[in-house]
Amino acid sequence: MYDEPLVSSLKSIVGSDFVICHPDDLIVYEYDGSVDKAIPDVVVLPETTAQISSILSLAHEKNIPVVCRGAGTGLSGGSIATHGGVQISLSRMTRILEIDPLNLTALVEPGVINLDITKAVAKHSLYYSPDPSSQKSCTIGGNVAENAGGPHCLKYGVTTNHVLGMEVVLEDGKVVELGGYPEAQPGYDLRGAFIGGEGTLGIATKVLVRLSRKPSITRTFMAIFADLDSASTAVTQIIGARIVPAALEMIDALAIKAIENARPMGYPRDAGAVLLIEIEGLAEDVNEESEAITSICEELGVREIRYSELAEERERLWAGRKGAFAALGSLAPNYYLVDGVVPRTRLPDVLQKIAKICSDLDLPVANVFHAGDGNLHPLIAFDERQPGSSAKALQAGEAILELCIEAGGVLTGEHGVGIEKKEYMPLMFTPDDLSIMKAFKQAFSPKSLLNPGKIFPDGKKPTQKASIRVGSFSTTDSDVWI
């Protein structure tokens, strides 16, 4: 813990009730949904931009590192205070400041839960499109930091495609505006550069998001295949036919077993894989695309296709998909979740190699992922009580990431680099590439006090210890982990 003068200064900014410094209380903030743990020296819960500005000015003056935290649902260690220092929790900044249904925008604070925006604008027949599977718990500030994706981002794009502008506090406490409405802003697109910066460039205190109109018709269907290869080929052919579903997800046999063990959702236990496909729009377009997708699946020997336009049935199908990661608790007490991307055409080959990597290490692996854009999410199941099992899980994860790069893919689709993948950045980027990135970061944060130890390699890999996060054993809490 820092000395009392610092704690007193922070209390004078936000009030005594909103500064946490007792060691027992700080344990709550030592982890997110990733591998590593680290305890901050002090946690501050501001309520306004002015308070955040004052906190950063104080930290800047004293050369104290600062890490920002939303809901703690991140999966790459982005909100872990690896260097100690001050952690700013945004849990009090939860106001939806303005809804403009005519201009299709909403102005929100960073602690607003993703799904709460859609709930707030539903009466206008609008919604917020990016939908991380943790949307019931993750915050907009965290979504901006990680450029979060989600099942429906195949058609509509990720966070950066739906954030028009932000109010941002820089390292030294200065407050600036990046982007805004209207979209055509002159000069460099600093808004776009800031999104996905993982908290290393500044702290967003207000976010202007783009809203979308609800489609006329939404149809969800499950295509049941005997094996992964057929399902993977169907993904390639659907996109190759110039059909872009709103969502195109794949769930393999082991994941189906876990889902049905945890809470039966009607998924076929004897399937090799299923595709969860959602299309939406005008009735004529939805019918035409449904026929085309059905034809493609039938040519590949699909065993069965189940269709639904009823909200209750559709929600049940999605509940199974979104609860899949947590359901792995029915098969093993722990899992390590990997996030990588490969070209769609390489899915069959890459999935086979992932299976071999895990088989060679005697580790079960389940696959639940955004098949439409090749964003893989292998879940490596293990039991941390068995000596060496955590290390083997990390070894498998590293091999999978290397495989993704070799296949022409990238290190992360939506979880960010954070601590987890920083040592693998040289697999994708040259020293000159990384040097330019660091120079850009220093333009925003010259002292590198904001979220240090993230994104850039420093020779420290995630620790091979028995603290790899486990998925929740309850489907009720599953939205925290997926």
- Quote the CA–CA distance of 45 and 48 in Å, as a whole number: 10
| pLDDT tens per residue across span 330-385 | 889 988 999 999 999 999 999 999 999 999 999 999 999 999 999 999 999 999 99
The whole-number pLDDT of residue 223 equals 97
The whole-number pLDDT of residue 1 equals 52
User: Looking at residues 299-318, what average pLDDT do you find?
Assistant: 90
Of 375, 316, 323, 382, whose CA–CA distance to 346 is shortest?
A: 375
Give the DSSP H/E element, type plus range, for residue 247. Answer: strand 247-252
The whole-number pLDDT of residue 468 equals 39
Q: Is 3.30.43.10 the CATH number for 4-89?
A: yes
Integer CA distances (angstroms), 273 to 133, 229, 247, 257, in order? 20, 9, 16, 11
The whole-number pLDDT of residue 476 equals 31
Is residue 91 within 8 A of residue 125, CB to CB? The reply is: no
Q: How confident is the model at residue 311 (pLDDT cuts 50, 70, 90)?
A: confident
User: Looking at residues 164-189, what average pLDDT do you find?
Assistant: 92
Taken as a whole, the chain contains a residue count of 482
The whole-number pLDDT of residue 477 equals 33
Residue 132 has pLDDT above 70, yes or no: yes
Would you put residue 196 in left (φ > 0), alpha (ψ -120 to 50) or beta?
left
The whole-number pLDDT of residue 6 equals 93
Residue 85 has pLDDT above 70, yes or no: yes
Q: In the chain, what are the domain boundaries?
A: 4-89, 96-213, 217-326
The whole-number pLDDT of residue 167 equals 98
The whole-number pLDDT of residue 467 equals 36
The pLDDT mean for the chain works out to: 92
Would you put residue 264 in left (φ > 0), alpha (ψ -120 to 50) or beta?
beta
| pLDDT tens per residue across span 210-244 | 999 999 999 999 999 999 999 999 999 999 999 99
| pLDDT tens per residue across span 134-144 | 899 999 999 99
- Quote the CA–CA distance of 342 and 375 in Å, as a whole number: 7
Phi and psi, residue 248, nearest 5°: -150, 95
Indicate the range of 1-5, 13-17, 97-101, 201-205 predicted with least confidence. Answer: 1-5
For domain 96-213, the CATH class is alpha beta
Q: How confident is the model at residue 473 (pLDDT cuts 50, 70, 90)?
A: very low
Q: Over pLDDT 90: what percentage of the chain?
A: 83
Residue linked to tokens 């982007």: 179
Is residue 272 within 8 A of residue 256, CB to CB? The reply is: no
| pLDDT tens per residue across span 23-61 | 999 999 998 988 688 999 999 999 999 999 999 999 999
| Per-position DSSP letters for 286-331, written without gaps between them | HHHHHHHHHHHHHHTT-SEEEEE--HHHHHHHHHHHHTHHHHGGGT
Phi and psi, residue 367, nearest 5°: -120, 120
Residue 183 has pLDDT above 80, yes or no: no
Residue 107 has pLDDT above 90, yes or no: yes
Q: How confident is the model at residue 324 (pLDDT cuts 50, 70, 90)?
A: confident
What CATH architecture is 217-326?
2-Layer Sandwich (3.30)
